[in-house]
Chain A
């Protein structure tokens, strides 16, 4: 019975499919007409898929029509609450859509519905590729399903998978113009661009350039200065960085906390991506990270911790004994600030003052190498039945200068809007957590240098995680040599990605 249903649904959608392709071939597909009428009027008179192979990704609806319930629901796939909290707080400031709210327990409001369409957040943990797996299942079923996914979020480490697959709407198709996106950083567009067709599939509200954030007390004691410009001289390149690490060691401090801290600096400056043509390669930059980290571990320049562990966190206390951490823009509000204060910051910010643990005693500097770390991209799901709302959310959250300014002001996020950031800097921006330092200027300088062309593959999440994990054995001396650790990496990564081969 179920099989029969599937066959019927399948043949029906095939029928619609054929018709859609002929439809798309004749019209310019930048319109945002809702696909429903399109599929109804043209059903049955199409012939071939080959007609339009290179232009399949359109705003038109390809598959079966969705249920009324699905049309009245905006389903958003995500792996954490970051975007939701941004949307609840800032989307109302920039939209002309009609909104309804829910009152939350803590007195804040959440967006309940947009133009009568109720929001449905589907949050799935990122760990172990769980998010990708569930999202893939949903998107694969999208055409034949009456319950459509409308929007999903993705990270840079696997963005290419969704940008290149025909599962995300091209942003031009839903009416976002070059003009709308003129203030965005190019690299944020590169991440979400379909490498086959050049179409842009996702937008981000934040840019995530990285800095080196250091403990001002330790800087003063060891280097004699805590001025960011002067400290930068001690960390301006990796050789100098290592010399400074030796000085830190002499005074009983660690230069960095653990093995993975400097990883992103290197991995963002690779000459080729992890995977090309189904082959995994280890870039010289990655090897350089291994050599440096092994050297640091042997010499005691780091505290042998792993990212996010309690010991890694403990080093962020002002007396934690670690000189600095590599952090992207979100590192302050999400990690460094809550970890370094003695008393959690209250809602009214009354204890966000110097004297509360490390508050006001950290500084930021550019560090040895420009890099970025993290970031979230918003995509419209193909066949979404609420494309007008998807487009509006994207436009408000990622293109609107005032909203961008408000987010940076309120959340310390470095937003993906050059004009907004410039206005804030010109307005005399200062960050009390960094002792009044204007770190936006530093982030701007770093963001301008980020170049991601030919550095991304769809397998980066797995490669980064498995490589770091395997190398930890080498750093700790649990395997005899780098080659042995590499052999373990090979096993781990080919288990995860069975279709890839190792070129090392």
Chain B
């Protein structure tokens, strides 16, 4: 009996599965086109001249000119150095993503695992402050940082990453579905210290969540314009978005769309690489089923 139904079910579901597949692949291919189109345009634009009326589907011949212009000494003076900005952004984004992921997990762990008086309060507090838009405190933030003499340093850009409510929230949610308290208890029975339990046993389980949040935080900081603009002053400390902005708003006499596009292409390359590397890691990490513990 069960065999019978299975065969019938398999046949009808095979056809519907085929249709579903066709639909799925069509949609996916469409989305791939939509997603890659901006990249394609940027790459084409990077080979075009300083003024770019209309659209172009095949590369032009200005790529080398744009390269030369981009790495010219005068360009660095005018907008900031390309290499320098890449290094600066790499440093800031690297530090922030690591700090934010580790400390958010630690904070979430505290709420998830321990029972203490202020637990509920702390949790609600962090959830509420997650609603606070960055802009809301920006005015006070700048004034305070300049009072501390921290403007034009990386401290106000990196250290606040330790308190990242959104990352905390993600970690907490992830722990709720993937970190059974039994594991912690088992570690305690084995005589493992609390801090060691977190570092040695819990963090490996959180790897997929780490990977996801590292990418997000990294990209967010890589592309962050608002805070660096507020804090940084000297060109040698400029991050990519600041240099990009300076180029984009160059006067009409100097605006070089070709060079600008090339810079964008160069600026997004590292993030693409980081993402592609980590994306494999995420999938594998999740597939390995560390969640099951």
Contact = CB atoms under 8 A, between A and B. Distances in A.
Interface string A334-351: 110011000010000000
Interface in A120-136: 121-128, 130, 134
B155 to A, nearest CB: 13
Contact of B252 (A122, A125, A130, A308): A308
Given A127-B249, A330-B253, A344-B49, A81 B78 contact: yes
Nearest to A120: B77
Contact of A105 (B51, B72, B79): B72
Contacts of A128: 249
A102 B73 contact: yes
A445 to B, nearest CB: 25
Interface in B217-275: 233, 235, 245-246, 249-254
Contacts of B73: 102, 104-105, 110
Interface centre among A106, A123, A134, A308 (most CB of B within 10 A): A123
Contacts of B249: 125-128, 130
A335 B77 contact: no
Nearest to B150: A2
A2 B235 CA distance: 24
B147 A81 contact: no
Contacts of A81: 74, 77-78, 254
A182 interface: no
Given A79-B251, A125-B250, A127-B249, A313 B51 contact: yes
Contacts of B147: 2-3
Nearest to B246: A125
A82 interface: yes
B199 interface: no
A308 B53 CA distance: 11
Interface in A6-59: none
Contact of B68 (A105, A130, A134, A310): A105
Given A121-B77, A314-B53, A80 B254 contact: yes
B51 A123 contact: no
Contacts of B52: 310
Contacts of B71: 105
Nearest to A103: B73
B15 to A, nearest CB: 51
B9 interface: no
A126 B147 CA distance: 27
A80 B53 contact: no
B18 interface: no
B246 A310 contact: no
B28 to A, nearest CB: 33
A128 to B, nearest CB: 8
Contact of B253 (A3, A127, A314, A334): A334
Contact of B148 (A2, A104, A110, A127): A2
Interface in A315-341: 330, 334-335, 338-339
Contacts of A110: 73-74
Contacts of B49: 344
Contact of B78 (A2, A102, A123): A123
B79 A80 contact: no
Contact of A334 (B53, B54, B79, B252): B252
A80 B253 contact: yes
Interface residues of B, number: 27
A128 B149 CA distance: 26
B18 to A, nearest CB: 46
B237 to A, nearest CB: 13
Interface string B74-86: 1001110000000
B226 to A, nearest CB: 13
Contacts of A130: 249
Contacts of B79: 123
Interface in A122-169: 122-128, 130, 134
Interface centre among B49, B147, B245, B253 (most CB of A within 10 A): B253
Nearest to A105: B72
Contacts of A84: 74, 77
Interface string B48-67: 01111110000000000000
Given A2-B147, A81-B78, A123-B246, A310 B254 contact: no
Contact of A125 (B53, B72, B149, B245): B245
Contacts of B235: 122
Interface string B10-53: 00000000000000000000000000000000000000011111
B82 to A, nearest CB: 14
B252 A335 contact: yes
Given A102-B73, A308-B252, A335-B253, A313 B53 contact: yes
Nearest to B148: A2
Nearest to A79: B251
B143 to A, nearest CB: 13
A446 to B, nearest CB: 21
Contacts of B148: 2
A331 to B, nearest CB: 10
Contact of A134 (B50, B72, B233): B233
Nearest to A123: B78
Interface centre among A3, A105, A308 (most CB of B within 10 A): A105
B71 to A, nearest CB: 8
A59 B51 CA distance: 44
A126 to B, nearest CB: 7
A47 B93 CA distance: 53
B124 to A, nearest CB: 35
A100 B52 CA distance: 38
A377 to B, nearest CB: 16
Contacts of A127: 249
Given A3-B147, A308-B252, A338 B78 contact: no
B247 to A, nearest CB: 9
Contact of A338 (B51, B54, B250): B51
A334 B77 CA distance: 20
Contacts of A338: 50-51
A268 B250 CA distance: 25
A102 B73 CA distance: 10
B77 A123 contact: yes
Contacts of B54: 310, 314
A123 B253 CA distance: 15
A339 to B, nearest CB: 6
Interface in B148-199: 148-149
Interface of A: 2-3, 79-82, 84, 102, 104-106, 110, 121-128, 130, 134, 308, 310, 313-314, 330, 334-335, 338-339, 344
16 contacts: A2-B148, A80-B78, A80-B253, A81-B78, A81-B254, A104-B72, A110-B73, A110-B74, A123-B77, A123-B78, A124-B246, A125-B250, A126-B249, A313-B51, A334-B252, A344-B49
Given A121-B77, A310-B54, A330-B253, 7 more contacts: A104-B72, A104-B73, A106-B72, A125-B249, A313-B51, A314-B53, A338-B51
Shortest 10 CB-CB contacts between residues of A and residues of B:
A127-B249, A334-B253, A125-B249, A80-B251, A2-B149, A310-B53, A123-B78, A314-B53, A308-B252, A125-B246
